[in-house]
């Protein structure tokens, strides 16, 4: 049975015929009625990109918290419940406060057409205004230029994580068009940090950012130069530094960590108190559920990875190759994603696919469709009806390692059952 908060969230979805309709006009009107809370936010770090936004966010958040600062965050999507999206001083917003704020914002909106992400972002701004924290880390939902979070007037820093193909139907069919949308957040900020990018985007992004004095690029001002067993080496402004390897799996997490480390270095130069020992500790202790996360379940190892685009598939493939494992994969994906290309990318690193339709997601690939894709690549495939059947398969099969991937929505629905 749904809670009153879940029922209210369902009502908010119905305020607009489209789930995604990129525009800032509707939100602008609502925020004016709310007293423009976006003008009174904590010092803001704004993050856009295709992959790595969540990891960079949690690395930076832990660095700030380790150094005694109060920190809010805005994240999407959530894994288990909506509260995860709004972090107030490192705590998920309480259900009572969330319900009260959503109800208030819905009343002020007065049933005017507005997307779910826009109205929930307005509610988040109301909460962040009241929180009185030192910093706010703001993740874009989709794109950047017309993303609801991009309505904020100023920020300390704009961060661009790796850009690749995703949501082309909204952001454009080429990497440059997608990059142009992501770069839309780069405005009214003290400095810009750009993470590792594909070769064809490096010059394009640098040219687009020429008007900004304080801009820093992965590979130019900072980069990971060496990976050791317990540490990794970063070259920052021609000097070499060693930091603890992140507890997060995947070599790309060292690159994400390097963005947060360089962020801390710049902030330190600006006069903020950030202790190197605490930065190192924050990198080591950071956890981020559903991103190459390994869980023990009934004497089996289950790898949870919410990758859902080609860049994510490449990183997943690299991880499986490094670990020299070929797991059975529980695979489900939304049907606006490229399931065929995703499975093609990892097919040599997996032994079999268990096809599942993501529960309660009408826009999910059907098991038959996944099976047909697997047939085209000669991948063994078996269809499962639901999560219960998948868990039963894990328990009864002799295999010791399994991978669940294709969607963060799928990860969120199964993770709580595994725990």
* Residue 21: predicted pLDDT: 87
Instruction: Please write the tens of the pLDDT for every residue from 26-49.
Output: 999 999 999 999 999 999 999 999
* Residue 116: predicted pLDDT: 97
Q: Classify burial at 14, counting beta carbons within 10 Å of its beta carbon; exposed 0-12, middle 13-18, buried 19 or more.
A: exposed
Q: Classify burial at 316, counting beta carbons within 10 Å of its beta carbon; exposed 0-12, middle 13-18, buried 19 or more.
A: buried
* Residue 418: predicted pLDDT: 92
- The number of C-alpha atoms within 13 Å of 218 and in the hemisphere containing its C-beta is 25
Spatial distance between the Cα atoms of 125 and 28, rounded to a whole number of angstroms = 12
Helices (H) and strands (E) in the chain, counts: 15, 17
* Residue 19: predicted pLDDT: 83
Beta carbons of 151 and 179 less than 8 angstroms apart: no
CATH 1.10.540.10, applies to 4-285: no
Torsion on CA atoms 396, 334, 412, 49, rounded to nearest 10: 130
Nearest residue to 49 (alpha-carbon basis) of 131, 141, 151 = 141
* Residue 20: predicted pLDDT: 85
Q: Per-residue pLDDT for the chain (419 aa), expressed as one digit of tens each? A: 889 999 999 999 999 988 888 899 999 999 999 999 999 999 999 999 999 999 999 999 999 999 999 999 999 999 999 999 999 999 999 999 999 999 999 999 999 999 999 999 999 999 999 999 999 999 999 999 999 999 999 999 999 999 999 988 989 999 999 999 999 999 999 999 999 999 999 999 999 999 899 999 999 999 999 999 899 999 999 999 999 999 999 999 999 999 999 999 999 999 999 999 999 999 999 999 999 999 999 999 999 999 999 999 999 999 999 999 999 999 999 999 999 999 999 999 999 999 999 998 989 999 999 999 999 999 999 999 999 999 999 999 999 999 999 999 999 999 989 98
Spatial distance between the Cα atoms of 27 and 4, rounded to a whole number of angstroms = 24
Residue 128's CB: how many other CB atoms inside 10 A?
26
* Residue 376: predicted pLDDT: 97
How would CATH label the architecture of 293-418?
A: Alpha-Beta Complex (3.90)
- pTM of the shown model: 0.95
* Residue 211: predicted pLDDT: 86
Domain residue spans of the chain? 4-285, 293-418
Q: Tokens 């328990």 label which residue?
A: 395
Beta carbons of 113 and 51 less than 8 angstroms apart: no
Encoding tokens for residue 340?
A: 């065929």
Encoding tokens for residue 305?
A: 């990875």
């Amino acid at each position: 049975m749904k809670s009153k908060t879940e029922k209210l969230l369902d009502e908010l979805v119905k305020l607009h015929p489209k789930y995604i309709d990129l525009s800032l006009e509707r939100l602008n009107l609502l925020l004016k009625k709310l007293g423009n809370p976006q003008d009174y936010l904590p010092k803001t770090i704004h993050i856009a990109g295709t992959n790595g936004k969540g990891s960079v966010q949690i690395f930076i958040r832990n660095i700030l918290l380790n150094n005694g600062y109060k920190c809010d965050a805005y994240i999407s999507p959530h894994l288990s419940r909506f509260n995860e999206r709004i972090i107030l001083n490192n705590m998920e917003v309480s259900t009572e406060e969330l319900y009260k704020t959503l109800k208030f914002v819905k009343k002020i909106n007065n049933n005017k057409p507005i997307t779910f992400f826009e109205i929930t972002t307005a509610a988040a701004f109301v909460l962040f205004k009241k929180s009185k924290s030192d910093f706010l880390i703001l993740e874009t939902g989709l794109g950047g230029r017309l993303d609801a979070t991009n309505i904020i007037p100023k920020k300390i820093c704009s961060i661009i994580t790796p850009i690749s193909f995703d949501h082309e139907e909204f952001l454009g069919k080429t990497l440059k068009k997608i990059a142009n949308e992501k770069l839309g957040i780069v405005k009214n900020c003290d400095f810009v940090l750009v993470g590792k990018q594909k070769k064809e985007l490096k010059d394009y992004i640098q040219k687009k950012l020429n008007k900004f004095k304080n801009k820093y690029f992965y590979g130019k001002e900072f980069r990971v130069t060496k990976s050791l067993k317990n540490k990794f080496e970063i070259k920052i402004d021609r000097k070499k530094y060693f930091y603890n390897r992140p507890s997060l799996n995947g070599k790309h997490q060292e690159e994400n960590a390097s963005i947060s480390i360089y962020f801390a270095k710049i902030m330190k130069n600006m006069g903020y108190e950030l202790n190197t020992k605490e930065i190192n500790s924050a990198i080591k202790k950071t956890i981020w559920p559903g991103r190459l996360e390994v869980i023990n379940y009934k004497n089996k190892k289950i790898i949870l990875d919410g990758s859902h685009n080609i860049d994510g598939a490449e990183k997943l493939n690299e991880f499986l190759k490094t670990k020299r494992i070929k797991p059975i994969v529980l695979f489900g994906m939304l049907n606006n994603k490229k399931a065929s290309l995703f499975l093609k990318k990892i097919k040599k690193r997996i032994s079999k696919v268990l096809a599942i339709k993501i529960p309660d997601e009408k826009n999910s690939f059907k098991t038959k469709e996944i099976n047909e894709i697997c047939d085209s690549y000669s991948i063994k495939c078996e269809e499962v009806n639901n999560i219960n059947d998948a868990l039963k398969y894990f328990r009864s099969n002799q295999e010791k390692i399994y991978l669940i991937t294709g969607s963060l929505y799928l990860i969120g629905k199964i993770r709580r059952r595994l725990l």
